[in-house]
Structure 1
Amino acid sequence: MTAATETPTGTPPALRDHRVPADGLYEGPRTLRRVPEGWTDRPYELFTVVPSGRVIGAEIHGLDLSRPVGPALCAELDRALLEWKVLFFRDQHLTSRQQRDFAGHWGELETNPLLATGDDPEVVRLDRTAVPTFENVWHADVTFRERPALGAVLQLREVPPVGGDTLWADMAAAYDNLPPEVKERIEGARAVHDFIPGFSRFYPADRLAPHQEEFPPVEHPVVRRHPGTGRRTLFVNASFTTRIVGFSREESDRLLRLLFQQAHAPEFQVRFSWRAGDVAFWDNRATQHYAVNDYAPHRRVAERVAIAGDRPY
């Protein structure tokens, strides 16, 4: 041992000066709970569930979604959605009408005048090539509405030869793993959501301006209670959340950056590689998603049907 490293017996060596990470969001072990404490797991009788991730995502085997969905099957699928947050169905090849009919079992269908649609305003066609898209950012759908979507059913019509995956993040797990002091800071806080930041990157002002009266900024709780599970779920996203009410701009921006980062932790995520005809059904109240734009110059065509939701509380 050299003189530079010698320390008195029993005294730990001193560390050189260093910076402790400012937020600490990615430090230490994770709390990974798929369902709320006290939730009873029960077997599924009408299909097989194959988990895709530890806390989020499962493939559903043994169903043909083009066939009628009766009350018993709807109830089991609803339970699976609450438990896994996003469900994947391979090789369905539904017509637009069949996709819409399936989504309709969960409530009134939603239209979105900000997105291009075909003949049916409830079926949004997403035809992407090399152009920039607003999917490749972590977000929850239409949180700028007073009643954001309950969920969505997405089917890929055409897939690129490689790339074009979609990721989902479990925002209950994201909340669970916030530092205690951050949870205390956002307890009871509300945030403003606005459609303009998310869409102004891609649409000119003359297209957005006519919708300002239809979609004024709204406030939602920073942490919502999921109506189906009761779990606390982080409910801010980088596309539409602009500020936290009652905070200074500096403090709001700093805290939102920290909260937005929570969706980036791989432990809270599932990634799905599409084949043409695959269907995903996700809970927009419990998740954020990110469509990976890595397939240029190839084409990716999807159709999405959204289900109207309730007011977050």
Structure 2
Amino acid sequence: MYSNSFSVRPLGGVFGADVTGMDLSVPPPPAVSAALSAAVSRYGLLVFRSPRASAQGIAGLMCTFGALQRTLYVDTLRNQSAEEAACARPEECIAMMTDPLASVARSHVALLHAEEAPFGGESIWCSLADAYDGISRPMRAYLDPLEVASSSRAGFPRSLVASHPLTERRHLGIGVSFEGRVLNVPAEEGDLVVRLVQNLLAAPENQIRIPWTRGMIVLWDCRLAQHYPVGGYGAPGWRLRCLSACDAVADPPAAPLRME
């Protein structure tokens, strides 16, 4: 019998919440999945400190967020095969999976499961929503109608500022790793806009820093938060699984993307 007696408690920073009592050893029932979906849309990021978990249960949870899923497995506790070694910098591969503008199939939700984590391993998440909230009203009026085109999505415009489809909360549509241009403004002006956004996201008041522990899971909404690994995931001691999901109906991919 499935136990769904879990609790969600906001973290002390600007965003994020702790989830305790969660059972992900099997796919969660629809009511639990819906509750977690609402929570991640509200808080941007959920931290599961010591859940019961299995690959089947985690995959079942991710089905809540989209039919199209991608996975990447990192294991620096053993010698990697030639195929695995093709991703020499796993943090860059994870960034490609979890940045909404980085690939053809935009990720909506991402999950990291640290099956093993080295002492001192940490990650930073910056809040795209809190960064937008900190902008003055006159500057918001200027930024709101702007569109951007990512270098990796040539010619495909996206809004610089967007509204979350569930909560309607306004948030920045690009992250610190954005490479591209702002459309319909002079290049120098567009560079200033991108620099402003990246500076806001780099501000400590818009970030949360979380140390990894063995078995910990972090689930976040890619539209509200962006992930950065402190020191990367190439150091010895990691056994890490990353999953991302997007709504294949609302945002169909132009071509399949396989990372595992």
Which structure 1 segments of 5+ residues have no match?
Answer: 1-44, 112-122, 196-214
Which residue does the alignment assign to 1:152?
A: 110
Amino acid aligned to 1:283: D
Aligned runs of 1:8-19 on 2, under 5 Å? Answer: none
User: Sequence identity of aligned pairs in percent?
Assistant: 27
Q: 1:207-262: CA deviations, max 9, x gaps?
A: xxxxxxxx645221000111011111111123234110011111111111011111
Which residue does the alignment assign to 1:98?
A: 57
2:226 is paired with a residue whose SS is strand
Out of 194, 199, 203, which is 1:256 matched to? Answer: 194
Report the Cα offset of residue 108 of structure 1. Answer: 1.0
TM-score normalised by L of structure 2: 0.79
Q: Does 1:64 align with 2:12?
A: no
RMSD, aligned CA: 2.8
Out of 148, 158, 162, which is 1:191 matched to? Answer: 148
Which residue does the alignment assign to 2:128?
A: 171
TM-score normalised by L of structure 1: 0.67
Distance 1:95 1:148, change over 3 A: same
Distance 1:98 1:74, change over 3 A: closer
Which residue does the alignment assign to 1:299?
A: 237
Distance 1:160 1:258, change over 3 A: same
Amino acid aligned to 1:88: V
CA contact (8 A) 2:126 2:226 kept: yes
Amino acid aligned to 1:87: L
CA contact (8 A) 2:26 2:53 kept: no
Q: Does 1:287 align with 2:225?
A: yes
Report the Cα offset of residue 46 of structure 1. Answer: 4.0
Which residue does the alignment assign to 2:255?
A: none
Amino acid aligned to 1:92: P
Report the Cα offset of residue 305 of structure 1. Answer: 1.1
Q: Does 1:141 align with 2:104?
A: no
Amino acid aligned to 1:267: E
Which residue does the alignment assign to 1:20?
A: none
Amino acid aligned to 1:193: S
2:51 is paired with a residue whose SS is coil
Report the Cα offset of residue 102 of structure 1. Answer: 1.9
Could you say which structure has the larger radius of gyration?
1
Which structure 2 segments of 5+ residues have no match?
Answer: 78-87, 252-260
CA distance in 2 between counterparts of 1:250 and 1:95 reads 49
Distance 1:229 1:251, change over 3 A: same
CA contact (8 A) 1:140 1:237 kept: no
CA distance in 2 between counterparts of 1:86 and 1:220 reads 23
Q: More strand by proportion, 1 or 2?
A: 2
Amino acid aligned to 1:275: T
Which residue does the alignment assign to 2:35?
A: 76
CA contact (8 A) 2:129 2:172 kept: yes
CA contact (8 A) 1:225 1:231 kept: yes
CA contact (8 A) 1:136 1:290 kept: no
Q: Alignment length, in residue pairs?
A: 235
CA distance in 2 between counterparts of 1:61 and 1:103 reads 18
Which residue does the alignment assign to 1:36?
A: none
CA contact (8 A) 2:69 2:243 kept: yes
1:183 is paired with a residue whose SS is helix
Amino acid aligned to 2:178: F
